[in-house]
Amino acid sequence: MQPYRLWRSRLKNGLQTLLILLGLSLVLSVPGYLLAGVGGVLICLAAVLMAVYLSSWVPARLILASSGAGLLQRHQAPELYRVLDALYRRAGLSLPPRLYYAPSPDLNAFAVGDRRDGGIALTEGLLRTLSLRQLAGVLAHEVSHLRHNDTRVMSMAAAMSRLTLWVATLVQVVLIMMVPMMIRGDIGIPWLALLVVALSPTVSSLLQLALSRNREYTADLDAVALTGDPRGLASALEVLERFHGAWLESLFGRHPPAWLDWLRTHPPTRERIRRLLALGEDTADDGRPPLFRHTDTGSPVITERPGPLGRRYWIVRRR
């Protein structure tokens, strides 16, 4: 029953992703059509595809080097690499695993790149706070982002939102230039166009945030499929919620307003935990055993903290 629920949730999230991307395309198309008709729509969509294509040529190591991260070698973090090897193998990723270290006290992890060229960075705060079992859930979540090329999907959404803002601004300039003709009565006031131009950037931004939340839900589900251990990731999220939720409580109290959820890049942590625990145990794909057998583990051993990659690291030929 659990694998069925997992695949059902995946299908639901996949359909939501498709609908959100279609919504972003529609919102972009409307000001493009107002500006230049069908040709304007085609030019806008072509510009988005070109931007995504060009961004795929930016090496992941360039972003990691600019963030001040350092490359963790295998002998420096053997336990983490053993977990990551297993996750890459289960995810069907052929690129060699690469872990990066960010000397920050924040509790954070992020994936950069895609399934052809990518890496995962962990902060010092995360390594010191989470156990190996919890880190395995976090790593599986980031591996899922690489597996499904989520950074490329979000790059497309970001390009659509920026282009929607630019085209809407251009339409506003054209409307301002038409004000003298409106005053003389040569043309009527295009109230519908004004409304669309005013709302389209906001709607596009909200759809982009919704897509980000959707991809986080999908990555959670895929992480469970890779580890077979929903409680490992759920316990990690509980720790992160205690750390990151403190500032929200200082602003809004223990019950933040509901509208705040619309402005989040990540779903509410309590909802993520509820969905994970609802899946039950032993939910790995293909009946594989869980990475951890319901017993917590200590923090991983890091024998040495690497220094920053440096500005020249990104030009090194990909191995």
Active site residues: 142
Sequence-distant (≥ 6) Cβ neighbours of residue 3 within 8 angstroms: 283, 285
Mean pLDDT of the chain: 81
- What pLDDT digit, counting tens, does each position of 261-281 carry? 666 777 888 889 988 888 766
Whole-model pTM: value is: 0.81
Q: What is the pLDDT of residue 207?
A: 92
Query: How many structural domains does the chain have?
Result: 1
pLDDT tens-place string over residues 32-80: 888 888 888 899 888 888 887 777 666 666 777 667 778 888 989 999 9
Residue range of the domain that includes 52: 2-315
Low-confidence ranges of the chain (pLDDT < 50): 1, 316-319
- The pLDDT value given to residue 319: 44
pLDDT at residue 203, rounded to an integer: 92
